[in-house]
Amino acid sequence: MEKLADTLGRIAPSATVGISQKAREMVLQGRDVIALSAGEPDFDTPEHIKQAAIRAIEMGKTKYTNVAGISELKDAVAAKFLRDNNLNVRAEACFVGSGGKQIIFNALMATLNRGDEVVIPIPYWVSYPDMVRLAGATPVFAHADAQSGFKLTPEKLERVISKQTKWFILNSPSNPTGATYSAKELEQLGAVLERYPQVHILSDDIYEQLVYGGNKFATIAQVCPTLASRTLTLNGVSKSHSMTGWRIGYCTGPENILLGMAKLQSQSTTNPCSISQWAAVEALNGAQDFLSEWRNVFQRRRDMVVAGLNDIEGIDCLTPDGAFYVFPSIEILLGRTSVGGQLITTDEEFVLALLEENGVALVHGSAFGLAGHFRLSYAASDAQLKEALTRIAQFCDALA
């Protein structure tokens, strides 16, 4: 067998992608599985966006584009940043990639050297640390525990910043916890970051549209304008417009970083899919009225799932303010044995046994850096969620 690259030895396969793939394969084999493992809205992409893509095909917009995106999309991105985030940026200071994930990858690869550190709050989205490792740098973790609503405190942030810190990754609303920082909380983190001019901020705002109740979305470049020149503000249409498969993410940030990202992109994917870019122009410039309808649906599902999980003995679930995830603790249930005879000592064993025995796919908390939990995505139909809650309750109640 060929020897693979040493860099691959530094990373694990993505757990969110892996478990979702496993669930899809089980369904193909005829198994009855409810997959609540992927962070993916269950709504169809809105019709006007699909039509824009069809028009683009018919008009022959099927060729290579500018590396960092067509000018129409960069204009739409700049307009979006001004409209929603009060960020006044030029279209040339905007960059488009194949999904938010590629934007993060490009940004880290374009900026990190060996010895550099990247501060990542725990729990984190699975791919942040491994992307840092791929770039040859070192992830440094700061615990955002349940007591603080899974939000990082300014004190904890300051404790882990060193001379080597190149980036601080901030993701609000958060994957996997749904924790959402208020403008005031961002200001407090910003006050710490002000003192460390070597630190850049990667603000992953992909769940911006999914904030519930009286809470309001805020982004750090808006709240702390003095940090804007060292902040990369990242967003995309995947979660907001139910366009995960179209692969369009975008950002604005320091010009030299965007130039580095473009250099990298020119040697990898060349440009994001031309048809998807035209669809994204429509997504950003077209009607946005469905967003609030979807938000209401998600909020209702969140309330149903949180209540359903807290009704199960041994599960403890906070009510998150945003995104479409819950991240409950199952610590009390560890050490018990399932009906199928599995001794469950870890959260990973818990989710694997639940998938095998009761057909519900979740992601174990340790994949996000916090053991003793699982992540459930409630971006699924009410019927699926109700059935999943019944199955999770049956599984947990039968643990001996």
**Which member of 101, 156, 230, 364 binds ligand GLU (CB under 6 A)?**
101
- Within residues 352-371, the interface with ligand GLU by CB under 6 A covers none
E-only strand ranges, 31-116: 34-35, 94-97
- CA 152 from chain centre, in angstroms, equals 17
8 Å CB contact between 212 and 295: yes
Smaller CB separation from ligand GLU, 103 or 227: 103
Tokens of 300: 């209702």
- The minimum distance between CB 23 and ligand GLU, in angstroms, equals 12
Q: How many residues line the site for ligand GLU (CB under 6 A)?
A: 10
Task: Tell me whether residue 16 or residue 65 sits nearer to ligand GLU (CB atom).
Answer: 16
Give the shortest CB-326-to-ligand GLU separation in angstroms.
13
Q: Shortest distance, CB of residue 283 to ligand GLU, whole angstroms? A: 18
Q: Of 125 and 168, which CB lies nearer to ligand GLU in the complex structure? A: 125
- Locate 287 and state its tokens: 């009607």
Choose between 281 and 362: whose C-beta lies nearer to ligand GLU: 362
User: In 3D, which of 100, 75, 28, 103 has the Cα closest to residue 260?
Assistant: 103
Residue 37 CB, shortest distance to ligand GLU, in Å, is 7
Q: What's the closest the beta carbon of residue 205 comes to ligand GLU, in angstroms? A: 13
Q: Which is nearer to ligand GLU, 15 or 224 (CB)?
A: 15
CB 278 within 8 A of CB 52: yes
Q: Nearest-CB residue to ligand GLU? A: 39
Query: Which residues 6+ apart lie within 8 Å of 192 measured at CB?
Result: 154, 157, 158, 161
| Separation of alpha carbons 133 and 205, rounded Å | 22
Segment (H or E) for 295: helix 290-310
Candidates 9-17, 116-124, 208-216, 268-276: pick the segment binding ligand GLU (CB under 6 A).
Answer: 9-17
Q: Does 38 bind ligand GLU (CB under 6 A)?
A: yes
Q: Which of 228, 291, 327, 302 is nearest to 318 (CA)?
A: 327
Piece of the chain touching ligand GLU by CB under 6 A; list 12-20, 67-75, 191-199, 342-350:
12-20
Nearer to ligand GLU, 122 or 393 (CB): 122
Q: Residue 39 in contact with residue 175, Cβ under 8 Å?
A: yes
Neighbours of 228 (CB within 10 A): 20
Q: Does 11 bind ligand GLU (CB under 6 A)?
A: no
Nearer to ligand GLU, 41 or 190 (CB): 41
- Can you tell me the distance from the alpha carbon of 125 to that of 49, in angstroms, rounded to the nearest whole number? 28
Nearer to ligand GLU, 14 or 319 (CB): 14
Nearest-angstrom CA–CA distance, 131 and 150: 22
Q: According to the binding rule CB under 6 A, does residue 171 interact with ligand GLU?
A: no
Q: Which residues from 263-322 bind ligand GLU, rule CB under 6 A?
A: none
- Tell me the closest approach of the beta carbon of residue 14 to ligand GLU, in angstroms: 5
Query: Rounded to the nearest 5 degrees, what angle is found at the Cα of 139, between the Cα atoms of 195 and 22?
Result: 140
Shortest Å, Cβ 356 to ligand GLU:
21
Which C-beta is closer to ligand GLU: that of 38 or that of 77?
38
Q: What DSSP line would sit under 334-387, residue for residue?
A: TTEE-TTS-EE-SHHHHHHHHHHHH-EE-EEGGGGT-SSBEEEE--S-HHHHHH
The CA angle 160-166-170, to the nearest 5 degrees, is: 70
Q: Which of residues 119-148 bind ligand GLU (CB under 6 A)?
A: 125-127
23, 33, 35, 39: residue in contact with ligand GLU (rule CB under 6 A): 39
> Cβ 272 to ligand GLU, closest distance in Å?
16
Residue 195 CB neighbour total at 10 angstroms? 9
In the complex, the smallest distance separating the C-beta of residue 71 from ligand GLU, rounded to whole angstroms, is 28
Does residue 16 touch ligand GLU according to CB under 6 A? yes
Tokens 């769940």, residue located: 207
Name the residue nearer to ligand GLU (CB basis): 236 or 308: 236
Q: Which of 45, 175, 242, 276 binds ligand GLU (CB under 6 A)?
A: 175
Question: Containing H/E element for 222?
Answer: helix 220-223
How far is 251 from 271, CA to CA, in rounded Å? 15
The H or E element spanning position 231 is strand 231-236
Which positions lie near ligand GLU, rule CB under 6 A?
14, 16-17, 38-39, 101, 125-127, 175
